[in-house]
Each structure stands twice: as structure tokens, then as C-alpha cells.
Amino acid sequence: GCVLVVSVVEQLAQWHNSTVKAALERLCNYIPGKCQIKRHIIDREMNADVVCHSLKLCKQDPGQPLCHLYPPPKVSFFQMFCKIAGCGGSFKLEQYSAESIAGFSNLCAFPVLDKLCEKIKYVIRNKLPFEDFDGDKFSTFPTLRGYHWRGRDCNDKNATVYPGRRPDNWDVNSDSNCNGIWGVDPKDGIPYEEKFCKGADSRGVVLLGDSAGAHFHIPPEWMTVTQMSVKAFANLPMAFTDELDWPQFSEFTGFLNSTIGGWTDSLYLRLRRRNRCNHRDLQNISQNGMLMIQTQTVYFYINKAAYLFFSLARNQLLDNPTIVVYATIGNDVCNGERDTLAHMTTPQKMLSNVMQALRFLNTRLPTGSHVILTGLVDGRFLWDNLHDRYHPLGQLNKDVTYSQLYSFLNCLQVSPCSGWLTSNETLRNLTSERALQLSNVLKEIATSEKFSNFDIFYMDFPLRQTAEEWHRMGGEPWQLIEPVDGFHPSQIAAALGTSITWQKALHEWPQVLGKENPFNNQIEAVFKDQGGH
């Protein structure tokens, strides 16, 4: 956090030809809310690593390497420390000299965000909407696991009204399933739900995924000084309360036009176009592989995609069938440990975990549902296409490549994936080998296991097909990867992946998608003003 903030401050000073104090104040003014710069103690001649070690916001543990993002200074780190603090005696820095930097590197310290941290801790623990007055697991509030993640509730005072349920008495008097279709046709006295949706194969979509499925994204303009502005940071509170995820634009449950580049195309949108009765029937129950929230001196670690299933909102007797996509494409091989291979999921454990999850789903999903198991990605694509490119932090001075970033994160043991984000080719290959083994476990489950309430299908993660399609469109492979973290699929990759998944389903498992509703145009004509997300 410190290295990131100091890098941005120093580059702001350079870009605007200002003092460091003025750059700190400029950054403060960009951030929503009110913040105060107490003092500063940054020399523009020193890189961020030196400054942060000098302020004691970074440290070197005994027996551990010295972690640095930038090339080491030509003189020793000790000599640089002397320049800052003097070496005639004890190392002294006024405590509040570091507070401005520490404040920026702790999101919970931002005035506009500090009151949100308790709420965010709640939703991270429970994967449920923070504002849900009737307890049906759906909300009228967008973030904090609200309707960005699940279809929007249309009555948050009635637990029997929510997206995805079968209509109550054909919704003669009110909209019980929030798809915007209710009332009676005055011409013939037939309820609209019965006329348009009876026998229409209505179904929802549920994603059980990791940070890729949640659509993790840090806007590059937050750390690219040539693009920084008040407008660039305007979405910070929303992004923070969505855990830096953007499920509303994601591959499986996206429903809003993308504001983070690319375009939105999702399995949900295609199911809705196929059958307008599916409106709002979506749930994105995904979790970042490891998320840390800091509030004062308390740290909360949430590891791996576990217990996601228990926040699933589906009533076996009252609700429509659904398509469940199980897509933890990297969590089982990705960790930040130095001995990363020892911390990867084994094939035996994978089999046990997935079978346990499927048995649980069989107790929750309505008959006629479908489960799609998605294989793990081959993450060698990341190093191959990014390692020698400049990271947003390094674009101004051409001094930080993704290779340097990966090395820095590995040194700190906070890498999102030590096995793939490394210069060690043998380790990258071993990680992909384990990923393939785990994918084969999923494939075998789909082939051999049977459940009473759903059938199972398997598909490889379509990275190769996505890259080929993007190349045909004139794009470059690196554009399929999130620029800031150098790890997650970008918005472009998400949209292209949807198209590939849909075509596979149409040709190989058409029963999963349901039939086209011949009344779609009539529904839109009658309810054009009632179906907003």
C-alpha cells in the first residue's frame, strides 16, 4: 500500500511539476470526501521502496529478502535512509510523518469509506445483502451484495416476493417474481403471466465462482497519473462496497452497460433475450480468493471459495429451475505462499469438495435444473503475454514491468498466484499441470455422477478460443487481462467468453438454455416501462 501511494504521489509531482506536498494535496482532492494532509517527508530523488522503508511502513524480517518494486538505488538502502533520517544516532521520524501515506494505503481510513468497513465485513462473511429487510436474500440496494449481485427485489417488505420464484396465482394482483409481468389482459381475462410465461421453460442463472467470476477490477486510472481526476475516483465508494468486484458487468450475471471498458455480454442477458420471463433471475455468489480488510488494528482474512453455497437463494418447491455455473477457475492452484505447490488443492480433495457441494445443491435446486462445471484456466497465458510490458505504475517513467510487480508481490507473499506469476518456468508448468489434473476431476464427475434434481455438464475454460476470437477482431492478447493486477480476465475477455459459452451450449446442450419464448415482443410492448433492472 505504501509503495503504491508513494509511487503515485511522486509521479503526480513529476507530471504536474509540483512539490510533493502539492501532489499529496492534489491526490487528497481527487478522493471523495474530505481528507487532511498533516505533513510530508518525501524526497523526490528517492524511489517509493526507500521512502516506505524509511517511514517504517515497510520492513525486512530477519532472514527474509528485501522486497522492492523498483530497481535498488545505486547507493545502498542504508545510505538512502541516512539521507532521510540522519545517522548520528537513533533513527527518528515523527510518527505523523507516515500517517498521510498510511492513511492513503488503508482504504478504511478514507473519510467517505470508514463507516462502510463494518458493513463490508458483514457481507464478506455472509455473502448476503447487507440491506435486506424481509430476509429473502434479495435487496433494493445495489452494492454491499445487493442487486449488483442478485436480481433486484421488487418488494423488500415481503419475503414471498423475490426474483426466480414461480408466480403466485399467476400474479393476477401483484408481481411476485419481480419479472415485471403481472395483472390480467382486459381483452380476454387471462393473467399476463399465464398467457406469456406458462410452459415457457423459465429459468435463472447462478454463478458459484471466485474473483474472476465476481469480475475483480481496479480501474487503471486510479494509479495512472496522466488520467487521474476527480471524475476518475468518483466510483471509489461504489467499487469499495462491491469489494472491488463488478458483477453487474460480468460474464455470467452482467446486466448493465459496462463503464470499465469493453462491453457487457452475459449468460443472464442472453437467457433474458431468449425468454423475457427470466427477467432479474440471477445470482452471483462469488468471492475473491483472498480479501483483506483493515480497520484500525484488526485484519480479516477470507480465504478460498468456501461456504458460498449456503447463501444460495432457491426454494426447491416454490422456485423455477436454474442453471448453476461452478467456475472457480484459479483458486484451487493459486495462493501467495512460497511453497505454493504444497498449498494447492489435490485431485482427491477436489473430488471430495465438489461432490460435497453437488450433494448440497441437490437438496436446494428445483427439479429440472442444470449444473455446468468449468475447468481451470491455463494461467501461463499471463506471464507469456505480460511479463515484459509496463504496468500502469511504470508507464510514465518506463520503470515498472509486470515481471517486477510479480516479483515484488511474491517477495511480500501476497501474490494472487505464486505458481503462475513468476519467472520460474518450471513452476508455471507445474501449476498448469495441477490445474489440468483438477479439471480432469471435474470432467470425470460430469461424466459419471447422476443427481435427481439436475444434470451435469463440463466445459473447459475458453481462454484459447477467446484469444483466437480477439485476434480475429484485431486485438492483442494482453488486452484480455486486467491491467492493474495483471491476473484477472478483463471486460473484453468476459464478453467474448460469454459468446463462446453460449455457442457451445446451443450446439451441445440446448436443453440447458430452454426454448425461445414466442411472446417476447408482446411482453415488451405491454410491460416496456415495468421491467427495469
Would you list the domain boundaries of the chain?
A: 1-112, 201-229+245-516
pLDDT tens-digit series, residues 192-230: 999 999 999 999 999 999 999 999 999 999 999 999 999
Average pLDDT over residues 318-322: 98
Average pLDDT over residues 225-244: 95
pLDDT score recorded for residue 73? 75
pLDDT of residue 475 exceeding 60, the answer is yes
Q: In whole angstroms, what is the distance from residue 503 CA to residue 501 CA?
A: 6
Q: What are the Cα distances from residue 457, in Å, to 152, 323, 362, 370, 380?
A: 28, 11, 15, 8, 26
Stronger pLDDT, 58 or 197, i.e. the higher one: 197
Question: Virtual CA dihedral for 337, 339, 342, 345, nearest 10 degrees?
Answer: 30
pLDDT of residue 294 exceeding 80, the answer is no
Q: Is 369 a catalytic residue?
A: no
Strands 282-286 and 204-209: parallel
Q: In 10 A of CB 277, how many CB atoms?
A: 27
| Dihedral sign of CA atoms 50, 54, 58, 64 in order | positive
- Say whether 239 sits in a helix, a strand or coil: helix
pLDDT score recorded for residue 200? 97
Supply the mean pLDDT for the chain.
89
Question: What is the C-alpha R_g of the chain?
Answer: 25
Q: Specify burial of residue 59 (Cβ count, 10 A radius: 0-12, 13-18, 19+).
A: exposed
Reported as a pLDDT band with limits 50, 70 and 90, residue 258 is: very high
Strands 322-327 and 454-459: unpaired
Say which of 97, 100, 211, 311 is annotated catalytic: 211
**Which of 129-143, 243-257, 306-320, 496-510 is predicted least confidently?**
306-320
pLDDT score recorded for residue 94? 34
Average pLDDT over residues 267-282: 98
pLDDT score recorded for residue 53? 87
pTM score of the predicted model: 0.91
Reported as a pLDDT band with limits 50, 70 and 90, residue 103 is: low
DSSP assignment letter at 401 = B
pLDDT of residue 484 exceeding 50, the answer is yes
The total number of residues shown for the chain amounts to: 533
201-229+245-516: CATH superfamily:
SGNH hydrolase (3.40.50.1110)
pLDDT tens-digit series, residues 402-448: 999 999 999 999 999 999 999 999 999 999 999 999 999 999 999 99
pLDDT score recorded for residue 447? 98
pLDDT score recorded for residue 88? 42
Average pLDDT over residues 238-261: 97
pLDDT score recorded for residue 122? 81
Degrees (nearest 5) of the Cα angle 143, 216, 486? 160
C-alpha cell at 423: 519467472
Stronger pLDDT, 78 or 93, i.e. the higher one: 78
Identify whether the C-beta of residue 217 lies closer than 8 Å to the C-beta of residue 243: no
pLDDT score recorded for residue 32? 85
Average pLDDT over residues 163-180: 98
